[in-house]
Amino acid sequence: MVDPRISVINERLSRTRRIIAVSSGKGGVGKSMVATTLALTLARNGCRVGLFDLDFTSPSTHIILNAPKVQLKEEKGIVPPKVLGLEYMSLVYFVGDNPAPLRGADVSNALIELLSVTRWGTLDFLVIDMPPGIGDAVLDLVRLIKRIEFLIVTTPSLLAFETVRKQVNLLCELKLPVIGVVENMKMDKTSGVQVETEKLGVRYLGSIPFDPQVEDAIGNETKLMSTTVGKVIQEVGKNAILAEARDQ
Amino acid sequence: MHEWALAEAILTAAKELAEKEKMKEVTEVTVKVGELQQVDRSILRFAITQMQPPLFKNAKFRILKAGTTLRCRVCGTVWRFNSKKVDKETAEAIHFVPEVAHSYIKCPKCGSPDFEIVSGRGVWLESVKGAK
């Protein structure tokens, strides 16, 4: 018995130049916000970008983007709809407002199904909003997508950073590229996360000061890109991703 | 049209297997289609015939249907999925991603969405036979 879906995943992603998984050790650190603003930044710089929300149990990028409900277009698979210039895919297109109470094996199956059925166009970047932690989805993506790179989001909290430390160690053991760590919701000038990140041998990409305006910017692209998250991620996108892409 | 994506996946996987076994010609491919995914077998068969590479030109494609059994993890109730009991929109969502059944289907006895798809989830390549 062979699962035929696995064989076609690489073909589905063959027209995507780089795949960036935005991850975190814990939930609630602003990973979806970073993934969304990163995707929008890359698109605003003239790149062809896809955003893939794989946080199945708590998807939120559709709210950040204010993505309209649409009838998905089928063309020998599913063509991701365009939202604010991004090719966009999320499980919310299939579950609507209902919860998706999925166990590990179900997460894996849903992930494989969406990877095998979604027909991304020619993309410079596919940004993936990952579920938090190092569970099934991370292990599946590492198994199925050989070219995946990770961008990790943390907060200044020791609790959040400890999980990041484990995540970075795992990714390094697996010899997977880590673009760097972004520190979100920073409320003082301490440099603890930067020091600890650099001790791990990973690039510290920058810090995002806590911005109470972010909540009000959800669903509004212009406001969102004017928040501290938007501004810092635009710099991270230019300096750590686009600059490297130009150098290659 | 989802059937075309599945047909492509089936042919890619079958070709990989045939090449691994050093087959010069594939004579028979058996595919199992779980009821939960509600794949239209006639469209799937048509898509396969339209896309099949030369290695499969004389192959017979057996596309078998498998019933779907669900088991509640809370109370242990076992029941069969019946595609006729779900509305069109739900059926379409489950067709694309069978796991979203957990968002729409509940245990008929205790109402829990925490059930296991015991059998008949999606599409499986059962066997590839051929001449070496």
User: Which helix or strand (DSSP H or E) is residue A106 part of?
Assistant: helix A104-117
**Does domain A5-247 bear CATH number 3.50.50.60?**
no
pTM of the model: 0.93
Contact flag B6-A4 (C-beta cutoff 8 Å): yes
How far apart CA A120 and CA A95 sit, in angstroms, is: 21
CB contact, 8 Å: B123 with chain A?
A: yes
Distance from CA of A64 to the nearest CA of B (A): 22
Sheet containing B60-66: which strands, arranged edge to edge? B60-66, B25-34, B123-131
Confidence of residue A187 (pLDDT cuts 50, 70, 90): very high
Please list, in sequence order, all residues whose beta carbon lies within 8 angstroms of the beta carbon of residue A66, skipping any fewer than 6 positions away: A218, A219, A220, A221
Query: What is the model's pLDDT at position A247?
Result: 62
| pLDDT at residue A64 tops 70 | yes
What domains can you pick out in chain B, each with its CATH number?
2-131 (3.30.2320.80)
Contact flag B2-A106 (C-beta cutoff 8 Å): no
Give the total residue count for chain A. Answer: 248
Tell me the count of A-B CB pairs closer than 8 A: 102
Q: Where are the domains of chain A?
A: 5-247
Contact flag A100-B100 (C-beta cutoff 8 Å): yes
Residue of A nearest to B95 (CA): A94
Quick: pLDDT tens for A1-41. 788 898 889 889 999 999 999 999 889 999 999 999 999 99
pLDDT above 70: percentage of residues in chain A: 98
The ranges of chain B with pLDDT < 50 are none
How far apart CA A240 and CA B12 sit, in angstroms, is: 37
